[in-house]
């Protein structure tokens, strides 16, 4: 050991240096390493004097804490860092896949809801609804948003609805007549809406007067019913020579609503109201046809199924009970009935061969 040893600290790794040489990483300070035996005054580790050539230690393998500023540490710390980085990368990929699946699912649901709103994709409720109206779909084709438009090609008249036209010499206007009590706790009210004919060339006052009389049938007696009554008028058929107007009456009693129906049909050239006998023959043959068509059109109606032919003929012949009117499908024939056993109501059938 020489007394002239020169000690210092390595500027690279911070370890102890002796005679300008770092004992840890082998760094050599040429300005400090001269003159001593084993030193390299000429700036190199040589063997001209028989000295063993110095082999510097490989960098970044010291057992102590990693202090180098190099890009990648060696050994276990580096391996752990690589594994941690791979694990984090896998997690990111998994989250990306999950996010993509959620986004795709939301897009598909949005498309389904959009087309369902347009009515192109039926849901479960639609299927049940269609099943309940199979006969209607089979007979009438596509369903038009719940609004029935009668046609002469229909097998029968499905429901009372307006069949108005705007290309005739006259037009239809609607009148509303209502009575509402001042007492807000009194629910006995009256309401009626009905059509009138208007034209700049023809006087339809006689026709309109008769329509108004039929529409206001219950105006004077509406207080006889605890909830009053309402009447809705429909133009079921109209052309240049004829018009049929039907009224659906609702009588609001304590135990429920009692429905009734009435109708008027006019020859417009004369302004005369047509009688039922002018539309069809009312006889036993009509009763037979009524029963057969009722089974097809309405299914089981207890009152009709249990009434005798004589009872049905009497109702069809009664001017107060019988109802006859035209529609684009044909002649509708029916009646109102009252029964202690079956209650009250009305029923009608379509006679296709009685079209105008």
pLDDT digits (tens, 9 = 90+) for 286-343: 999 999 999 999 999 999 999 999 999 999 999 999 999 999 999 999 999 999 999 9
Identify which of 253, 172, 184, 250 has the alpha carbon closest to the alpha carbon of residue 218: 250
Sketch the domain layout of the chain as residue ranges: 1-70, 171-354
Question: Which class is domain 171-354?
Answer: alpha beta
DSSP 275-291: PHHHHS--SHHHHHHHH
pLDDT in tens, 38-94: 333 333 333 433 334 434 434 433 334 434 444 434 444 434 444 444 556 677 787
Q: 3-class DSSP state for residue 339?
A: strand
Q: What is the length of the chain?
A: 356
Rounded to 10°, the helix 284-297/309-317 angle is: 100
The answer to whether the Cα torsion of 222, 225, 228, 233 is positive or negative is negative
Q: What pLDDT shows up at residue 274?
A: 97
Distance CA 158, CA 154 (A): 9
Q: What pLDDT shows up at residue 112?
A: 63
């Amino acid at each position: 050991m020489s007394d002239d040893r020169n000690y210092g600290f390595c500027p690279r790794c911070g370890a102890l240096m002796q005679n300008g040489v770092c004992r840890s990483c082998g760094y050599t300070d040429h300005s400090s390493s001269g003159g001593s035996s084993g030193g390299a005054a000429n700036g190199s580790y040589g063997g001209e004097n028989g000295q063993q050539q110095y082999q510097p230690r490989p960098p970044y393998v010291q057992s102590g804490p990693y202090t180098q500023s190099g890009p990648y540490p060696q050994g276990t710390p580096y391996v752990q860092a690589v594994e941690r980085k791979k694990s984090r990368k896998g997690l990111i990929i998994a989250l990306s896949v999950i996010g993509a699946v959620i986004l795709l699912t939301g897009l598909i649901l949005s498309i389904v809801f959009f087309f369902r709103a347009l009515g192109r994709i039926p849901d479960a409720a639609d299927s049940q609804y269609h099943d309940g109206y199979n006969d209607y779909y089979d007979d009438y084709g596509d369903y038009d948003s719940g609004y029935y438009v009668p046609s002469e090609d229909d097998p029968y008249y499905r429901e009372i609805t307006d069949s108005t036209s705007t290309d005739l010499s006259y037009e239809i206007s609607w009148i509303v007549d209502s009575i509402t009590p001042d007492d807000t706790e009194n629910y006995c009210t009256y309401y009626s809406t009905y059509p009138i004919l208007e034209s700049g060339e023809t006087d339809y006052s006689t026709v309109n007067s008769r329509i108004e009389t039929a529409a206001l049938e219950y105006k004077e007696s509406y207080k006889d019913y605890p909830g009053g009554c309402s009447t809705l008028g429909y133009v079921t058929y109209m052309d240049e020579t004829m018009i049929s107007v039907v009224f659906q009456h609702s009588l609001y009693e304590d135990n429920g609503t009692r429905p009734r129906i009435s109708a008027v049909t006019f020859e417009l050239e004369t302004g005369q109201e047509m009688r039922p006998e002018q539309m069809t023959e009312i006889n036993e043959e009509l009763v037979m046809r009524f029963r057969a068509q009722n089974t097809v059109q309405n299914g089981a109606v207890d009152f009709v199924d249990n009434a005798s032919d004589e009872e049905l003929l009497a109702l069809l012949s009664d001017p107060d009970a019988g109802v006859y009117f035209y529609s684009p499908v044909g002649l509708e024939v029916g009646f109102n009935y009252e029964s202690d056993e079956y209650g009250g109501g009305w029923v009608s059938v379509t006679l296709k061969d009685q079209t105008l």
